Amino acid sequence: MFFLIDYFAKKRDGRVNSKTKFLVSATVRLSYILILIIKYSRIMLKLNNMETIEELPSIKKNVSLAEYTTFKIGGRAKYFFIAKTKEDLINALSLAKRLKLRFFILGGGSNLLVSDKGYNGLVIKTKNTDLETKRKGNLIKLICGAGMPLANLVLESIKKNAQGLEWAAGIPGTVGGAIFGNAGAFNESMSDNIEEVEVLDIRKMAVRKFKNEDCMFEYRKSVFKKNKNLIILSAKLKLKRGKKEKIKKTIREHFEKRKKFQPLNYPSAGSVFVNPKTGMKTGEMIEKCGLKGKRIGRAQISEKHANFILNLGRAKEKDVKGLIVLIKKRVKNKFGIILKEEIISI
């Protein structure tokens, strides 16, 4: 520093020789290089301490979501991770929170419409399918992971002579998704079977347990659908001991009704809208609006059940959205009712 002060004093008096000029130039350049080294070192230190999404084992990038949904529609996820255990799910959520990364929990992919643009964040596919059985008298309790497919759980209930899940036969999706939306059919629903739900509260990263009454179940609703900070990890279902042949008979009857009244020959997301609390069912209203068979692009309102929109092949999200807007407009104009979607759009 004193050397530079002396230099500028001599320069002012015209007493600077070439050797002094060289030393000053070298000193300035060296100082600049040192500053760059310090800045680079600080950046590298931050990078070394920084967590990355790659810390999740088997993380995938740029994954097509269409193949993971029953609609077979949608773009790609920036990041995609399969959680095979409860611990996998918690670790993925914890990392996403620390990285401030947008995330979505994907179950069986039913009741879901994915944007053609995909999902700019982390999609966590639940595949924690662990199952435990407890018996006490005529009660049979099934404790399973949120990623357990409903179809598999129904099969397990048959093997164990457990009665109460017959309504779920043929419904795509997982236990977690069924609890989230309180799935149901034939005047029964998931709320009839749930005793307890284990969740992760991502605000505090704490595991909590909700009794049936805490879940705030309503028609196609739950506290988990209202509060996105509560992520379902597992559930305990309470069933009754029954006769295997009677259980199988009921399931066969339900399957026959589905085949008769629901379009199963093309990909769909299931019922698009929830039914109003009173009056006609949504499918009837859509039919009375003359919309059965209506197409936009490669998406079509089913001719068998008007509350289903079908993917005739290579349908786009915008095609489906176009039909949804049309249905809501026509039903409102004719019946004065504003329909609410049952499917979730991301």
pLDDT tens across 79-121, in order? 999 999 999 999 999 999 999 999 999 999 999 999 999 999 9
> What element of type H or E holds 224?
helix 223-226
* 29-74 pLDDT tens trace: 677 677 767 666 555 544 444 568 888 888 999 999 999 999 999 9
Residues 270, 110 contacting (CB under 8 angstroms): yes
Q: Which residues of 28-60 are buried (b: 16+ CB within 10 A; e: fewer)?
A: eeeeeeeeeeeeeeeeeeeeeeeeebeebeebe
- Continuous segment of H or E residues that includes residue 96: helix 86-98
CB 215, CB 179: distance < 8 Å: yes
- pLDDT of the residue at 57: 84
Q: Which residue numbers are catalytic?
A: 220, 271, 342
Least confidently predicted of 42-46, 162-166, 266-270:
42-46
DSSP string across 128-194? ---EEEEEETTEEEEEEETT-BHHHHHHHHHHTTEES-GGGTT--SBHHHHHHTT-EETTEEGGGTE
Query: Quick one: average pLDDT of 202-229?
Result: 96
Percent of the chain with pLDDT over 90: 79
Tell me the per-residue pLDDT of 11-24, one tens digit each, with 9 for 90 and over.
555 555 565 555 55
- Look at strands 139-145 and 131-136 and give their pairing: antiparallel
Average pLDDT of the chain to the nearest whole number: 90
Q: From CA 56, how far away is CA 74, in angstroms rounded?
A: 24
Token pair belonging to 335:
């019946």
Q: What is the pLDDT of residue 46?
A: 46
Task: Specify the pTM.
Answer: 0.83
Over residues 172-184, mean pLDDT: 95
Q: Which two tokens stand for residue 187?
A: 């005047």
Do residues 128 and 83 touch, judged by C-beta distance below 8 A?
yes
Token representation of residue 327:
């249905």
Domains and CATH numbers, the chain: 2-49 (no CATH), 53-126 (3.30.43.10), 131-247 (3.30.465.10), 263-345 (3.90.78.10)
Residues near 287 by Cβ (< 8 Å), separated by ≥ 6? 306
Query: How far apart are alpha carbons 330 and 336 in whole angstroms?
Result: 9
Give the pLDDT confidence score for residue 10 in this predicted structure: 53
The residue among 331 and 55 whose pLDDT is bigger is: 331
Task: Return the CA Rg of the chain.
Answer: 30
Tokens standing for 106?
């994907």
| Percent of residues, the chain, with pLDDT higher than 70 | 86
Res 2 pLDDT > 50 = no
